[in-house]
Structure 1
């Protein structure tokens, strides 16, 4: 008589889905349910389905300014942070003196909250801040520069970019360092034996092997840049609006959760779109 096959209960007990079930339930409760409620709030009112909330959002002059500023912040900050993080990680790989000191120094901003970082840079870029005091004392400016003046959009963007680069480059750095540590040194040494220059080794050996870490760093940093709020709020208030800041304005100050949900869905769509773009681009680059 042939042996009996595994029962349905035994198959279920050995299924990986059983181990994943608690995490899946937690994810659904923490993210799935709020997402459903946000979508319903953005597309419904007392009478049912409506696009009135979106029309009100698009009629708001701050929305498109916030969208432009957020995209500018991503386009400028993310590439600069990636280049800095790769350079810092390669320096760590060269094992300079006081290696641990370099690592801890570069990761200090990770321990600083966004709001605290914004206040620190506010003390530097304010009208009577440290930077203007230095410029006046050196005779480079008579009364200082209005870095945070509401009419100086370019200088406000500059201050937010500098603050974000200082605050969040360490996050990208930690991810890239972890990736560099996983690359066998034999590959780089073999490339040196065959006469490859430092740039050739970087382009053809290090960066291709770093692709998974760079992909994670790009996706995570872009999503976090889309959520930037506290630094810009501390530096410029609503003179330099960002998308998440507009969500806060609509929800807290204007008492309109429906329009706030619409802005949040825009942030979600941009986050998903950039993640898919990075995944396709990095996958295509490896063919």
Structure 2
């Protein structure tokens, strides 16, 4: 009979106790996340109910195979006789990759601008001066405003007779022209979400010991040298977390462009396309939702693998240096 040491028995009990606490959480996640995902995948392989072209009767949709996926990924549509053809320009089937491009464009531009501006705001808020608490509270106001309200505020400002045209002395239809509409979305999103980035980076700055800056100042390091040689390296883990959070949030962008530009096709993100398709066919929309889920999951996985490894490596280097 196999004998266990006292340490092994204690470790086994500790492991069982840990699973006892973790199991309810795993069950809740399986119900809240696992079932909807599995249901959407199952629906994505079925056809939407509609009229039978042969009889003119309303029938339930049967098995669709991978036709829903080819409809979106390969831009293939099906005629009434079942023939596969390329989706006409302007249909939802031909808009998927355009929506992906718009989503990635918004993600890259907004995250880059918010990172640069948020870092500057965090450095300023991290200094000691009179009124610092008031400044920190005021900076968080844009982030605290609901996104729908933010979209309406900027919509009024970007109107033809709005504040933006009056200040700049222009007569532009900001939300109608493709590139000006994208510019309006970027400005509104950066204005709203930069405080969130600054808050995350400020928390990272608070973790840097003041003694490090004092030692560098005594050694004659300039302000730029202290920023590049001390602040940025020690802030790298917080920077990576902030970029990861904001990237995941930007990939799901929906309400800001939907409300601000009132359905302008040039600002149509993947989330907007999913909502539009849900109103037309739930099963085809399930395929689009599944593709969107896989896309966001793949980006998140790559960011976690790359940025997470860099963060761990940076922490190990700091521990070794200390």
TM-score, structure 2 as length reference: 0.78
**What's the counterpart of residue 156 of structure 1?**
181
Q: Shift of residue 191 of structure 1?
A: 2.2
**What's the counterpart of residue 107 of structure 1?**
140
Deviates more, 1:55-64 or 1:175-184: 55-64
Q: 1:87 aligns with which of 120, 138, 150?
A: 120
Q: 1:51 aligns with which of 47, 52, 66?
A: 66
Is it true that 1:28 corresponds to 2:30 in the alignment?
Answer: yes
Is it true that 1:236 corresponds to 2:276 in the alignment?
Answer: no
Is it true that 1:248 corresponds to 2:275 in the alignment?
Answer: yes
* Structure 2 unaligned spans of 5+: 48-60, 76-86, 88-92, 318-322
Where relative contact order (Cα < 8 A, 6+ residues apart) is larger, the structure is 1
Distance 1:64 1:32 in 2: 27
Is it true that 1:275 corresponds to 2:277 in the alignment?
Answer: no
Instruction: Report the 3-state secondary structure (helix = DSSP H, G, I; strand = E; otherwise coil) of the residue aligned with 2:221.
Output: coil
Which of these two proteins has the greater Rg computed from alpha carbons? 2
Distance 1:100 1:235 in 2: 32
Considering fraction of residues, name the structure with more helix: 1
* Structure 1 unaligned spans of 5+: none
Instruction: Report the 3-state secondary structure (helix = DSSP H, G, I; strand = E; otherwise coil) of the residue aligned with 2:261.
Output: helix
1:107-159, CA deviations, whole angstroms, 9 ceiling, x for partnerless residues?
Answer: 11222111111000000001222222344xxxx33xx111111xx21101100
C-alpha contact 1:219 1:274 (8 A) present in aligned 2: no
Q: Shift of residue 13 of structure 1?
A: 7.6
Give the root-mean-square deviation of aligned CA atoms: 2.5
Distance 2:127 2:5 in 1: 61
Distance 2:126 2:4 in 1: 58
Instruction: Report the 3-state secondary structure (helix = DSSP H, G, I; strand = E; otherwise coil) of the residue aligned with 1:234.
Output: helix
